[in-house]
Amino acid sequence: MNCQLCKKELDSYIEGKLSDDLKNQIEAHLLICSDCKDAYRLQILADRVMAAEKELEVNPFLATRVMAEIETRESGTVRSIPNVLRPVLITISMGTAVFLGVIMGSIPQYKKIRETIPVELALIDDTRIESIDLLSNE
């Protein structure tokens, strides 16, 4: 028997689905070949891990929690009001934070610009005095 055939039939060997002749050949090959023996041990270990993962752990308080949730939902919408208000409050707080950030960010900049402009240049800014319509008619 070669290693390729042995590794191919390891699952069937572990499950006991092989004929006696093929089973004896694989057992004889596993005694000789250390690579196939390691693959067999690895397969056995993987099967044990998967079997342990498949076992369900029963939570004794699951039924109690489910029943309590059903009772609170049937009793009214007292619990659903905060769930409705939460997105509204988050939106309002985000909008307020952005607005305050813009306002607070522009205060130092406005003050800095006003302090650095010389008086002569401030007098040149006559856009407040004259209208654009008056300048376009000339």
Does residue 98 carry a pLDDT above 90? Answer: yes
- Neighbouring residues of 16: CB distance < 8 A, sequence distance ≥ 6: none
Does residue 129 carry a pLDDT above 60? Answer: no
pLDDT of residue 100: 92
Which pLDDT band holds residue 109 (cuts at 50, 70, 90)?
low
The answer to whether 6 and 29 are in contact (CB under 8 A) is yes
Q: What are phi and psi of 93, to 5 degrees?
A: -65, -40
What confidence tens digit (pLDDT) does each residue in 20-37 have? 888 898 889 888 988 999
User: Which among 39, 35, 51 has a CA at the least distance from the CA of 13?
Assistant: 39
pLDDT of residue 48: 87
pLDDT of residue 108: 63
pLDDT of residue 119: 63
Range in 3-12, 59-68, 92-101, 123-132 the model is least confident about: 123-132
**For the residues 129-138, what does the mean pLDDT come to?**
56
Higher pLDDT: 84 or 95? It is 95
**For the residues 98-104, what does the mean pLDDT come to?**
89
Average pLDDT, the chain: 78
pLDDT of residue 55: 76
